[in-house]
Structure 1
Amino acid sequence: MGLLSELKLAVPWGHIATKAWGSLKGHPVLCLHGWLDNANSFDRLIPLLPQALKWNRFSLMGHSFGGTVAGMFSSVFPEMVDKLILLDSLPFILDINEVNNVLTYKRQAIEHVLQLEASQKPSMVIGPEEMLQGLLKKNTHLGEECGKLLLQRGTKQVASGLVLNRDRRISWLELGIDYLSRELMQLATQKLQAHVLLIKAAHGLSNVRKDQTDQELLLFSISVLRAVLKERFQFVEIPGNHYIHMNKPQQVAEIVGAFLQGQEVAPAS
């Protein structure tokens, strides 16, 4: 299943770069990559998934922050999403101190954007090897081959090296996150009409951080999804790190493929 086309979606601030795989006759699955990643994140997984699935709505698959965006969209527009696939991600981000912190988050995010927009500082030009090593140092779950794949799309070649393609305004994570209380997370989950699959990496971000509060919020989120969605929620934990969809595409594809075709996926380990 090869690349169908490269697309640019016009938006008021510029454009969103996208790419399309597979047959136009198949069921549409919109894939959202993780924070500061790009569409090449799915290059290894998409060719392994089944085609020609004909349903009336579309499915969402998101990795990391992309899964959170997909989850929030699925609760705000529940009639549009039939299946939600979360790759080492949760559909909503909880913060036990969200009431006290939300205004601080918003102020910091706005100030960050204003500072960047006022600055005329040009993008840094970095050599290919230095760029790769810098990416791998900041993303310890990435292997060298996957890091090179992300940089193919995430950088632009100039005379003296590479520059990052990304909009620097998105480098402040809080700019795109709405933190939810436990009560609001339960309400948002009740709005979901989609069948939900959560594939958790055994050594993903939630395990690496080893923060007790993070672990409690993870367990709470999973318990709410199970209690509210019942048979519409499936959970699988597999060996691997945060980039399981790139590092182990065959294993992830088997689980996702079965889910897309309405089958029961393997039980959690």
Structure 2
Amino acid sequence: MGEPLTNGHQKEESLPAGIVVDEIEIPVPWGHVAGRWWGPRDKQPIIAIHGWQDNAGTWDNLIPQLPVTTSVLCIDLPGHGLSSHYPKGMLYYIFWDGIVLLRRIIKHFKWTNNVTLMGHSLGGALSFMYAASYPDEVDRIICIDIASPAVREPQNMVERTGWSVDKILSYEHLTEDKIPSYDYDEMIDIVCDAYRGSVSKENCKVLMKRGMAPTPAHMKKKGYYFKRDPRLKVSGLAMMSIETALEYASKVKCKVLNIRAIPGQKWERLDYYLDVIEKMKQNADVLFVEVEGTHHVQLEAPENILQLIEDFLEQY
């Protein structure tokens, strides 16, 4: 029930004095959600949520630099990192699934008041949506390089539907013998190429501590495979229009720290990002700050956002 799995992981990591982290598992109907709980266990933590196809390791460079009294629960979303995949026949709706998951976790631990969420990319979008859906329960959100779920033009959503459905069904027939296996360096290179400069080789290794695993012996292949669910690659279903995003933005009334990285993510419509920020300002206390960094600024250059986050947490 959210208890630490082992303290052994602490011995493997080089952490600053006084910083502790436990690996935990939270039960869900299809298995478990894995997490890394940093800091004190006797207080309600910040819930930290990673980006699409990343994992809880995305916070490994930032959180150890926060005050030792800071409690943070970093989760692996379903199908990511060390969390259970959805059962065969189910599909991921990315944003909507995440809201249900956050609700499960918060109710599991009975944290239905003064909730603080911190998210990068997809995780920031989930923080935004949760704050809009439960405005009386959320106290603060910190969103890194995103304002709302990715907004798509209706034409694009409609055109991608058929392809998305067929792709999902094709993944159901992906047998073990078809799962690719790579040696360690080759896998890290593949990951780095996929991030297109957003994550350095060194930090790809940080993410892959939870993102890859040795190929099981019964598969009779040497090397490593990606642990994330391939169905996650289909992310275009149930996207959001700008009108819907703005309606959610109007419901947010907590304190908001939104950090946009420059150059950061290359947004299809940057004006939509800024429109959501302006809409939130109508009912919420919003601090919008631009910093130098890639889309993964919390992993690549945590020192660029550390003081902003510390000040925000202290102020409120």
TM-score scaled by length of structure 2: 0.72
Contact 2:50 2:121 in 1 (8 A): yes
| Equivalence for 1:178 | 239
1:205 corresponds to 2:259: no
Secondary structure class of the residue paired with 1:173? coil
CA contact (8 A) 2:214 2:224 kept: yes
Q: What amino acid is aligned across from residue 171 of structure 2 in structure 1?
A: L
Which of the numbers 128, 132, 147 marks the counterpart of 2:188? 132
Superposition map of 1:96-245 within 5 A? 97-98=153-154, 100-105=155-160, 107-122=162-177, 123-139=179-195, 140-158=197-215, 160-175=222-237, 178-181=239-242, 183-206=243-266, 211=268, 214-226=269-281, 228-229=282-283, 232-245=285-298
Is it true that 1:4 corresponds to 2:4 in the alignment?
no
Amino acid at match of 1:90: A
1:22 Cα deviation (Å)?
0.5
How much identity, in percent, do the aligned residues show? 28
Q: Given the alignment of the two structures, is residue 261 of structure 1 paired with residue 278 of structure 2, yes or no?
A: no
1:240 Cα offset (Å)? 1.2
- Across the aligned residues of Structure 1 and Structure 2, the Cα RMSD in angstroms comes to 2.4
2:252 equivalent to 1:252: no
Structure 1 SS opposite 2:283: helix
What is the aligned counterpart of 2:139 among 82, 101, 115?
82
Tell me which amino acid in the other structure corresponds to 1:111. D
- What runs of 5+ residues in structure 2 fail to find an aligned partner? 1-17, 72-110
Corresponding residue pairs, total = 252
What's the offset of the Cα at 1:47? 1.4
Amino acid at match of 2:166: E
**Larger RCO: Structure 1 or Structure 2 (Cα < 8 Å, ≥ 6 residues apart)?**
1
Tell me how far apart the structure 1 counterparts of residues 249 and 47 of structure 2 sit (CA, whole Å): 20
C-alpha distance after superposition, 1:100-129 (max 9, x if no partner): 454555554443322212332542110111
Give the aligned partner of residue 49 of structure 1. Answer: 66
Sort the Cα spacing of 1:216 and 1:145 in 2 relative to 1 into closer, same or farther, 3 A.
same
Unaligned stretches of 5+ residues in structure 1: 264-269
**1: distance between equivalents of 2:258 and 2:42?**
26
TM (norm. structure 1) is: 0.84
Secondary structure of the structure 2 residue equivalent to 1:61: strand
